[in-house]
Amino acid sequence: MPGFEIFGEEEKKEVMDVLDTGVLFRYEFPEQRKGVYKVREFEEKFATYTGTRYAQAVTSGSTALKVALTALGVGPGDEVITQGFTFVATWEAILEVGAIPVFTEVNATLNMDPADLEKKITEKTACIIPVHMLGAQADVIEIVKIADRHGIPVLEDTAQAAGGRIQGRHLGSFGTCGTFSFDSVKTMTTGEGGMIITDDEELWRTMSEYHDHGHDHVVNPGARGGEGRRFVGFNYRMMEIQGAIGIAQLAKLDTMVREQKKTKQRIMEAASDIPGVQFRKLIDPDGDSATFICFSLQDREHAKRVNVSLAAEGCGAINFGENTWHFYPKWEHLLSGATTVKSGWPFREPGGKRRVVYDADMLPQSADIVGRTLVYPIPIKMDPKRLEQICSALIKAKNT
């Protein structure tokens, strides 16, 4: 990762189609654009690729979460369950719509633990957001079964796992809807940008209207409709140049994943002799997007020793237990309820009453698993010398 490694003539051609029209806005100007609607084409092709009926393009993976939650009717008074190992955008979006994030443990998949999910569901639970973190599948089939028993929609955060599957079915298509990110470090990228997929026509229409200030889009997806607005919205529109790049990148996505799998397998083989090493549990190894390799050691101290050895060889890995962006105990602004709003919202009600208090130590299972896990991102194109350097460092680390 990421997709910019293989930018080529395909992306240039799609972008030039846009520049030749002079229309960067995804809607309107039909005479000037001469039939060129790149965002609409990207949506149609992404829906086809993922085997879903509808896709809604937006400005980022973060706004995809907010647009989806809003379309699902989630807001103040609601709780949304997600996992304590994710990028901050997942819970930022929950707070953005006025709901309260509730965090579950992760298990050996490094994703939502269905057993802990069962414990966290309350009468206030309005949505469940499993995250296919670091490119690999959450146990989404079991999670959806649990959610269905309680009548709760599932929103799959698939930001880091485009191209991933379970038994041939695309991640993001198991729940009520699924969101994707195409930012600068994703396997397929448009620089910024996101997508939401769903089979629910009414949900898609609500997302389509909300992301464009409430415009109804009744006439067709290329126009803004008859102005029969049902509700207020906001601006989360994708630009035509992003849609153009997305079309070219999507066509390459399966090839990207295949290349990542080859590199990942080679690194796994090198790491396999480290005493006590365990590789991340994959629900379906064939459906792995292979954007990261994750391996756990015997305990936190063993992981630290191994990483010191790797770093000495110029190949230090990521320990997300020490990362400030992706792991619950490191989110100091969430834990302290930091906000720019004078009233203290969203952590306090108007008048000062605290809505939620988070305990940094409330996810001990996750702290254990994440703290002893080391991670390497997998590029699409890895220099053979660099690959051999990493593999050699891992082989040496077996003696630490």
pLDDT at residue 360 greater than cutoff 60: yes
**Contact (CB, 8 A) for 145 and 173:** no
**Contact (CB, 8 A) for 41 and 236:** no
Q: How far apart are CA 161 and CA 133, in angstroms?
A: 7
- Structure confidence at residue 351 (pLDDT): 87
How many CB atoms within 10 Å of residue 357? 8
- Structure confidence at residue 399 (pLDDT): 86
Q: How far apart are CA 399 and CA 273, in angstroms?
A: 10
Domain 254-325+363-397 matching CATH 3.90.1150.10: the answer reads yes
What are the φ and ψ backbone dihedral angles of 81, each rounded to 5 degrees? Answer: -90, 130
- Structure confidence at residue 220 (pLDDT): 58
Q: Convert the pLDDT of each residue in 304-357 to its tens digit.
A: 999 999 999 999 999 999 988 999 999 999 999 999 999 999 999 988 899 999
Radius of gyration of the chain (CA): 22
Q: What is the mean pLDDT of residues 123-136?
A: 98
**Contact (CB, 8 A) for 249 and 23:** no
Q: Convert the pLDDT of each residue in 227-250 to its tens digit.
A: 678 999 999 999 999 999 999 999
Q: How far apart are CA 201 and CA 208, in angstroms?
A: 10
Locate the domains of the chain by residue range: 3-252, 254-325+363-397
pLDDT at residue 87 greater than cutoff 90: yes
CATH number for domain 3-252, candidates 3.40.50.1820, 3.40.640.10, 2.60.40.4070, 3.30.160.20: 3.40.640.10
Alpha helices (H) along the chain: 9-21, 30-33, 38-50, 61-71, 89-96, 114-120, 140-150, 201-210, 240-271, 300-312, 332-336, 364-371, 384-397
Q: Convert the pLDDT of each residue in 267-313 to its tens digit.
A: 999 999 999 999 999 999 999 999 999 999 999 999 999 999 999 99
Tell me what the pLDDT averaged over the chain comes to: 95
Give the catalytic positions in this structure. 186
Tell me the two tokens of residue 145.
Answer: 């079964």
* Nearest one of 214, 244, 181, 251 to 71, comparing CA atoms: 214
pLDDT at residue 106 greater than cutoff 90: yes
Q: How far apart are CA 43 and CA 23, in angstroms?
A: 18
- Structure confidence at residue 293 (pLDDT): 98
Q: Convert the pLDDT of each residue in 154-205 to its tens digit.
A: 999 999 999 999 999 999 999 999 999 999 999 999 999 999 999 999 999 9
Amino acid at 88: V
What are the φ and ψ backbone dihedral angles of 290, each rounded to 5 degrees? Answer: 60, 35
Tokens 């690194």 found at: 267
pTM comes to 0.96
pLDDT at residue 88 greater than cutoff 70: yes
For residue 65, how far is the Cα from the chain centroid? Answer: 9
Q: How far apart are CA 188 and CA 281, in angstroms?
A: 24
Tell me the two tokens of residue 197.
Answer: 């997929």
